[in-house]
Chains A and B, each alone.
Chain A
Amino acid sequence: MAKRIDVSGLTAYYGSHKAIEDISMTVEPRSVTAFIGPSGCGKSTFLRTLNRMHEVTSGGRVEGKVLLDDEDLYGQGIDPVSVRREVGMVFQRPNPFPTMSIFDNVAAGLRLNGSYKKSELTDIVEKSLKGANLWNEVKDRLNKPGSGLSGGQQQRLCIARAIAVEPKVLLMDEPCSALDPISTLAIEDLIGELKERFTIVIVTHNMQQAARVSDRTAFFNLAAVGQPGKLIEIDETERIFSNPSVQATEDYISGRFG
């Protein structure tokens, strides 16, 4: 079910400010692609253009093409709502809906998109929570509020919520940066399992994490503050971390940067 993403000549703006310029890359299905690079280089902006969340920000504008299995996400007549059903997203800070129980949080995407039978929902919620390795911890308190969980559990709840709608691609924007090492490990293991079923793109500031979880890594950089961010290179993770073809990548990875 996972789909391939082909980006060509993508430029994104915030109002008149050009945030990223002319990015082209391919994201392979059933693999993990990591985005690394210094703060402000446009990794998150680029990630948000992949499910049309960029335009939710006021002044957000995109030029270029993003093909999801040959269909242009920015083509004529494409409904951003449908795009987001195919391309799910997990955010930096865990953000479960505070008014909903754990069960309702996971069921939210399905319930708010159409009507489901209670028994169907129960099955999907259980499956999604198991998929997010959270089932055993919460199965006895599905009716308690989601905000009562720990940070790591909340983040896994958000992942369960995102995979419950069966997206083709899962985008993760620094999903572990607010978590402790143990929760991070849990999420990383989970990413390894999820890549069997989904195409996963993850933004991370942690290079060890990129090396651990990803199959391919993309390095982003910007020439100077205020300049648009650019894709420097994308390659097999092993190559990026052992023998990158661009000097800037090696400088950044070895910490000689800036």
Chain B
Amino acid sequence: MSTAATVSTLKGARLPKWSPYAIAAGSVALGVGISFAADLHSSIQWALIAGLLFVLGTYGIAARVEGRRQAKDRVATSLVWVAFLLAVVPLVSLVWSTVARGVKVLDFYFLTHSMGLVSDDEPGGGIYHAILGSLEQVALATLIAAPIGVLTAIYLVEYGRGRLAKAVTFFVDVMTGIPSIVAGLFILSIMLMFDMEPFGFAGSLALAILMMPVVVRSTEEMLKLVPNELREASLALGIPKWRTILKVVIPTSIGGITTGIMLAVARIAGETAPVLLLVWGNSLINANPFEGAQQSLPLYIYQQYANSAGAGAAYDRAWAASLTLIAFVMILNLVARGIARWKAPKTGR
């Protein structure tokens, strides 16, 4: 009896480890080849052909060598990879083109000076006034929306019963779907009623309307994640409900709540429509959000692009401001993650 002759029923034929890479390389080569032959010039076309070839090729080869079940497994894996690349490529290209075009004029001078008397098609000027306006408007909006949103979520999760809670949930859902321009028009109609001039805080009010439902939703989900056992443990110690919420429920979920607020901030930081209606834009520095037109980053980007009639200098400034806005949102997200990690319940020994 030789052991070598025994055929294992547990071992099947396997493709070598490098085979997915080989199939990928082959399908890219084939995709490019087909494109040249058919005289297709767009890189999207050859990429899609290559993707399709990769999935089909994986199935064909794996089915022949390994059998049907493994082939399906490999197709699922390759589909995930193709989908991943399809999702990542636009993102990377967006970041890349913003960085490449934005760094041209992005320097310390650009960040610390306003447009002043620089006209739209001249080089020079900066975005200090837009950064200042954005920060003030977003901060004020957060100051309004975050407490109301968090308290609403606490009501819904901890106290809400019956009709009022259902009505609140319904209106939060409705608010989630409000287009930003409608929120802007709503505040505008109030402004017109009182015959007011555009000012920064009006924009904050519209942004707060957009931010509130996002904060309510995310906070609600975070509070629901707090195990009921913890609430019961606290109540059973004779701790009143409000202190239980304040000292046990909120500390347990504070990381998630902060992350949710930060993401909502990131969302409203890029809103243009309400700001355009209510804040108007200003090429001078106006540090007072309660009086006079202000600037904001998204609005600045729009105005530089729209009003410049294709002038190179304004075009570069728009990209540089976009890069600043992306960096701003990115920093906020990183801060949110940092807080979430720092505040997360500790499990170490």
Question: Distance in Å from the Cβ of B247 to the closest Cβ of chain A?
Answer: 5
A99 within 8 A of B: yes
B238 and A82 within 8 A (CB): yes
Contact partners of B232 in chain A: CB under 8 A: 53, 56, 89, 91, 95
B229 and A93 within 8 A (CB): yes
Chain B contact patch, size range: 20 to 34
A165 to B161, alpha carbons, bound, how many Å?
Answer: 31
* A99-B348 contact, Cβ under 8 Å, with A89-B236, A91-B233: no
B247 and A112 within 8 A (CB): yes
The digit string for B329-349, where 1 denotes a CB below 8 A from any CB of A, is 000000000000000011111
Question: Which chain A residue lies CB-closest to B349?
Answer: A148
B237 within 8 A of A: yes
A181 within 8 A of B: no
A144 to B240, alpha carbons, bound, how many Å?
Answer: 26
The digit string for A77-100, where 1 denotes a CB below 8 A from any CB of B, is 000011111101101010101110
What does DSSP make chain B's interface, helix, strand, loop or mixed? helix
Interface centre among A53, A56, A88, A98 (most CB of B within 10 A): A98
Question: Distance in Å from the Cβ of A86 to the closest Cβ of chain B?
Answer: 8
A161 within 8 A of B: yes
Count chain A residues whose beta carbon lies closer than 8 angstroms to a beta carbon of B. 30
A214 within 8 A of B: no
A100 to B346, alpha carbons, bound, how many Å?
Answer: 9
B237 and A56 within 8 A (CB): no
A99 and B235 within 8 A (CB): no
A84 and B252 within 8 A (CB): no
The digit string for A112-130, where 1 denotes a CB below 8 A from any CB of B, is 1100000000000000000
A81 to B244, alpha carbons, bound, how many Å?
Answer: 11
A145 within 8 A of B: yes
A148 and B238 within 8 A (CB): no
Contact partners of B252 in chain A: CB under 8 A: 97-99
Interface residues of B (CB under 8 A from A): 161, 227, 229-240, 243-244, 247-248, 251-252, 345-349
Interface residues of A (CB under 8 A from B): 51, 53, 56, 58, 81-86, 88-89, 91, 93, 95, 97-99, 108-109, 112-113, 144-145, 147-148, 158, 161-162, 165
Closest CB pairs A-B (n = 10): A85-B238, A98-B345, A109-B237, A89-B236, A148-B349, A84-B238, A95-B229, A145-B346, A99-B251, A112-B239
